[in-house]
Amino acid sequence: MPLIQANNITKNYRVGDMDVPALKGLSFEIGEGAFAAFVGPSGSGKSTLLNLIGCLDHPSSGTLKVNGTDISTLSRSAAATFRGEHLGFIFQDFNLVPVLSAFENIEYPLLMVRGWSPEKRRERVEKMVAAVGMTEHAHKRPDQLSGGQKQRVAVARALVGEPKLVLADEPTANLDHDTAYRILNLMKAMRDSFGTSFIFSTHDPKIMGEAELTFTLEDGRLVQEGGAA
């Protein structure tokens, strides 16, 4: 069974009295263990599609299944639960909680979302901190970390709950070229280690070349699907 099944999904936004279509009848499937990219220019619908897959928004029509669950109609609370249990997120601006250390940021989903016991949490977080090479900096707050280190922490936070899928919206946009590649390689390594699927959006041709599967969007339509460009 594919991890993601999208069947003719559309998304319209209401602007004044008009419906503005952002996605126009997309259908595709993504299997488990994928390292996929949604690519396309600004306004092509990449972020909207990631938001739909991430249960942050509902499609206007069509069905969207993630890990076998139809997420098109989940309530606010059920969507939060689904995100907490099955999804991880990596953001362009890292979005770490500034009052928490790197260790605590990674621990947050297990503590506040999953409610794991302290021992189980510590063991898991230590493993993730080591996996992203942040053991030496685990006690530091985000303002004491470089951009690359922050994104490493964000990757660890996204993976700590052992999700099936990690969604990353322009994860390398705020990083220099070398760091961006290191983060992408880290994400690939994590996919290889934990079997987690990664889907990221990008408009950078060099970055999209790192994806094993690409979905090219233009004006809300899927215009190309295939291996690395």
Partner 1 sequence: MTSTLKLAARNLLRYRRRTLLTALLIMLGVMALLLFVAAAGSFKQTMIGSITDSMLGHLQIHRRGYTQSIDNLPLNLNLQPGAVSKIESALKGDPDVAAYSLRVKLGAMFSNFTENTSVRLNGIDPAAEDATVPALRQRINDGDKAGPLVAPGKVLIPTLIARGMKVKVGDAVVLVVTNASGSVNGKNFVVSGILDGVTGPGGRDGYIHIDDARELLRMDKPEVMEVAVRLKSLKTLAAVQQRLNAKLDEIQNKEGKPATELHLWSDLSPFANIVRMIDMMTLFIRIMLVAIVLVSVMNVMLMAVYERIREIGTLAAIGTQPGKLMAIFLAEGLLLGLAGAAAGIALSYALVGYLNLNPVVFAFGREQITLRPVLDLVEVAGVLGLAVLVSALASLQPAWRAARMDPIQALRHV
Side chain identity at residue 65, one-letter code: K
> What distances in angstroms separate CA 77 from CA 1, 175, 178, one per listed residue?
26, 34, 39
Residue 54 vs 171, nearer CB to partner 1: 54
Shortest distance (Å) from residue 106 CB to partner 1: 11
Residue 172 vs 214, nearer CB to partner 1: 172
Side chain identity at residue 82, one-letter code: F
Which residues are within 8 A (CB) of 8 and not within 5 positions of it... i.e. 6 or more apart? 25, 26, 27, 61, 62, 63
Burial 134-147 (b: 16+ CB within 10 A, else e): beebbeebbeebeb
Q: Please give the full DSSP string across 130-196, using - where no structure is assigned.
A: HHTT-GGGTT--GGGS-HHHHHHHHHHHHHTT--SEEEEESTTTTS-HHHHHHHHHHHHHHHHHH--
Residues making contact with partner 1 (CB under 8 A) = 51, 54, 56-57, 76-77, 80-81, 83-85, 87-89, 91, 93, 95, 97-100, 108-109, 111-113, 157-158, 161
Residue 80 vs 213, nearer CB to partner 1: 80
Shortest distance (Å) from residue 198 CB to partner 1: 16
Residue 120 vs 206, nearer CB to partner 1: 120
> What distances in angstroms separate CA 11 from CA 54, 64, 83, one per listed residue?
14, 12, 20
Shortest distance (Å) from residue 26 CB to partner 1: 18
Residue 28 vs 82, nearer CB to partner 1: 82
Residue 83 vs 137, nearer CB to partner 1: 83
